[in-house]
Amino acid sequence: MPAVEPRSKADLLRFIDERWKGLQALVSELTPEQMEQPLGDGWSAKVHLGHIAGWEQSLLALLRGQDRESAMGVTLQPREPHDLDALNDALARRSAALPFDAVREESRRVHAEVVAVLEAMSEDDLLKPYSHYQPQAEPPERKPVYGWVNGNTWGHYDEHIGWLRTGLGHQPPPRQALS
């Protein structure tokens, strides 16, 4: 994650847009067959896209006061709630089982929905605590929801862009701060 973080809602939306375009440019180079091939981390590019879409679904549920895990479209065993590895494994299995076109369409649809929801929010909405949106969370979380937005959008895209570039044998681009 870069040292620079968004300082306003406008910055946040710009970061999301720029990182999303970077992710899309990277995967647009691949054929549907290449999207299905496992990379060095064992996940295909398709699975990476499905994983990101799952976490964006979780973000939408967070902001709507809904159950985040249910929104991800995966079912965990009772002993696994909130287990990130179990969630990620379930998302990977779900994405791997879907056709590439379905994963790509879901990814685009969910992303557009996230952007629309964020555009409708105010700066104050983004500064409200997590527990404002998820009052049933135990223990109550007082940190601003901004952090979850960052971590499930542009910060998450950056993370997966890096893994995809490595898995595809791309040289990393020079790091530069956004203007």
Query: pLDDT in tens for each of the 179 residues of the chain?
Result: 455 889 999 999 999 999 999 999 999 999 999 999 999 889 999 999 999 999 999 999 999 999 988 899 887 765 555 688 888 999 999 999 999 999 999 999 999 999 999 999 999 999 999 999 999 888 889 999 999 999 999 999 999 999 999 999 875 554 444 44
- What is residue 69's predicted lDDT score, i.e. its pLDDT? 85
**Position 178 in a domain:** no
**Position 113 in a domain:** yes
- What is residue 107's predicted lDDT score, i.e. its pLDDT? 98
Number of domains making up the chain:
1
Burial category of 164 from C-beta neighbours within 10 Å (exposed 0-12, middle 13-18, buried 19 and up)? buried
**Position 79 in a domain:** yes
Q: What CATH number is associated with residue 147? A: 1.20.120.450
- What is residue 171's predicted lDDT score, i.e. its pLDDT? 58
How far CA 15 is from CA of 21, 46, 48, 59, 66, in Å, comes to 10, 23, 19, 16, 26
**CA-based end-to-end distance of the chain:** 16
Q: Rounded to whole angstroms, how far apart are CA atoms 16 and 26? A: 15
What pTM value is reported for the model? 0.90
Show the tokens assigned to 6: 């968004």
User: CB of 60 within 8 A of CB of 117?
Assistant: yes
Show the tokens assigned to 158: 């950056």
Full domain range(s) for residue 45: 9-31+39-167
User: CB of 67 within 8 A of CB of 78?
Assistant: no
**Position 75 in a domain:** yes
Show the tokens assigned to 12: 């946040």
127-155 CB burial, b ≥16 within 10 A, e <16? eeebbbbbeeeeeebeebbbebbbebbbb
- What is residue 74's predicted lDDT score, i.e. its pLDDT? 84
**Position 177 in a domain:** no
Q: Rounded to whole angstroms, how far apart are CA atoms 20 and 6? A: 15
**Position 175 in a domain:** no
Q: Rounded to whole angstroms, how far apart are CA atoms 165 and 103? A: 20
User: CB of 130 within 8 A of CB of 148?
Assistant: yes
**Position 54 in a domain:** yes
- What is residue 66's predicted lDDT score, i.e. its pLDDT? 94
**Position 172 in a domain:** no
- What is residue 77's predicted lDDT score, i.e. its pLDDT? 65
Hey, what amino acid is at 33? Answer: E
